[in-house]
Amino acid sequence: MNVLLGLVGSEESTRALRETIDRTRETGDDLTIAIVEKPEIDRSPEETREEVRRAIAGAGIDATVTTLEGDPGSALVTEAERGGYDLLVIGGGTESPMGKIRLGPITEFVLLNATTSVKLVR
Amino acid sequence: MTRSRTYPDESAGSFPNPPATVEDTDGRPIELTVLEPTDEEGFDDLVAMYGEFDPSDRAQGIPPTGEGRIRDWLEPLVADGVNLLARHDGAVVGHATLVPETDDVAALDDLGDVEWELAIFVHQPHQRMGIGTALLEHLLGEARRRGIERVWLTVERWNAPAISLYERVGFERCGGESFEQEMSIRL
């Protein structure tokens, strides 16, 4: 399967990265990791890229790493379509102090607009 | 995790304090009491209510199902939060809770320093009888008594009855550009 993983540098992205790398090691999927710039996140795209490089090397898998510019949600949906991917994987929300699952605006945009299947990693 | 919301400038005014006995719309007595963290029996009664909760009424993943997951979810809420139980004939029929947006509530000198997330659940056979409103008002009374100033919640956008209930007691809509509507109140 041809898989596109979208990362915005948040905590939920870190979970999605770990889960997807583990899964890729088991399945041998073709994995592309797209880092999307999100201005309000503390971590810079460079830091995220470094984390991704370490994770890939540590797992001993092959993956293409790319950076997407522009609005995060639409950049991911467009890349998933143009690249002919079978699956778009993104972080599946954060939890409030109460334990309520919260989906951010990027997730909502991707769910409502993607023409590929979407996987949310909790 | 600091997530700063906008709050109304004005305080919402006064609310009744628990403990109290109110009547539901059928005239049945409903007792409202604070659940203290040390009250193990009260905790078990609360777990029992969630054990019978209709899972189709879940909102944003809570309450969970299965006794183990229900206990894991409730333990930090009861340890660190402010919790109010509604009982009819001894059984818990409703629960309102406030959870601080901090990992270490014991370190707070003033509970007004952090924001508190609110949620209310009423067991299905007792819904639409005024118990949710009574829980909400008395929980806000208890919160104010303890010095809590800022309370927020999220509610699914389609849930108009809940949104209008919150608006009646003084909550205002504050952002939330996603599936959920965020609302806040100043005590």
The C-alpha of A94 sits at a distance from chain B's nearest C-alpha, in angstroms, of 11
Show residues of chain A in contact with B101, CB under 8 Å: 97
Confidence of residue B175 (pLDDT cuts 50, 70, 90): confident
The two three-digit tokens of residue A71, written as one number = 């609005």
Show residues of chain A in contact with B154, CB under 8 Å: 96, 100, 102
**Tokens 């205002």 — which residue?**
B172
Confidence of residue B33 (pLDDT cuts 50, 70, 90): very high
The stretch A113-117 carries a mean pLDDT of 96
Confidence of residue B1 (pLDDT cuts 50, 70, 90): very low
Mean pLDDT for all residues in chain B: 94
* Confidence check: pLDDT of B2 > 50: no
The C-alpha of B28 sits at a distance from chain A's nearest C-alpha, in angstroms, of 30
Residue B48: its pLDDT value, please? 98
Amino acid at A52: V
Q: Is B178 a member of any domain?
A: no
Q: Is B71 a member of any domain?
A: yes
Mutation target to probe the A interface, by most A beta carbons within 10 A, among B180, B182, B184 is B180
**What's the CATH code, domain A2-90+109-121?**
3.40.50.620
Residue of A nearest to B3 (CA): A96
Q: Are B112 and B148 in contact (CB under 8 A)?
A: yes
**Residues 6 or more apart whose Cβ sits within 8 Å of residue B37:** B78, B79
Show residues of chain A in contact with B180, CB under 8 Å: 102
For chain B, give the percent of residues with pLDDT over 90: 82
Between chains, do A102 and B180 touch, taking CB under 8 Å as contact?
yes
Q: Is B123 a member of any domain?
A: yes
Question: What pLDDT, in 10s, does the model give residues B131-160?
Answer: 999 999 999 999 999 999 999 999 988 889
DSSP label at residue B101: S
Q: Are A26 and A54 in contact (CB under 8 A)?
A: no
* Confidence check: pLDDT of A22 > 70: yes
Confidence of residue B6 (pLDDT cuts 50, 70, 90): very high
Mean pLDDT for all residues in chain A: 92
The C-alpha of B128 sits at a distance from chain A's nearest C-alpha, in angstroms, of 23
Between chains, do B119 and A108 touch, taking CB under 8 Å as contact?
no
Show residues of chain A in contact with B79, CB under 8 Å: none
B34: domain CATH number is 3.40.630.30
User: Please, which contacts does B101-110 make with residues 24 or more away whose CB atoms are closer than 8 Å?
Assistant: B101/A97, B101/B1, B101/B2, B101/B3, B105/B80, B110/B147
Residue A99: its pLDDT value, please? 92
Q: Does B107 or B175 have the greater pLDDT score?
A: B107
Residue B165: its pLDDT value, please? 92
Question: What pLDDT, in 10s, does the model give residues A12-21?
Answer: 899 999 999 9
Query: If DSSP codes are grouped into helix, strand and coil, which group holds residue B61?
Result: coil
Residue A72: its pLDDT value, please? 92
Lowest mean pLDDT among A111-120, B10-19, B101-110: B101-110
Domain count, chain B: 1
The stretch B115-142 carries a mean pLDDT of 97
**Chain A contacts to B (CB-CB under 8 A):** 95-105, 107-108
**Residues 6 or more apart whose Cβ sits within 8 Å of residue B30:** B21, B22, B23, B24, B86, B87, B88, B93, B94, B131, B134
The stretch A74-83 carries a mean pLDDT of 96
Q: Is B155 a member of any domain?
A: no
Q: Are B144 and B187 in contact (CB under 8 A)?
A: yes
Query: If DSSP codes are grouped into helix, strand and coil, which group holds residue A72?
Result: helix
* Confidence check: pLDDT of B181 > 80: yes
CA distance A27 to A1: 9
Q: Is B70 a member of any domain?
A: yes
CA distance B187 to B169: 11
Label each residue of A23-42 as H, E or C. Answer: HHHHHCCEEEEEEECCCCCC
Residue A15: its pLDDT value, please? 92
* Confidence check: pLDDT of A41 > 70: no
Q: Which domain holds residue B129?
A: 20-148
ipTM value: 0.82
Show residues of chain B in contact with A95, CB under 8 Å: 61
Confidence of residue B103 (pLDDT cuts 50, 70, 90): confident
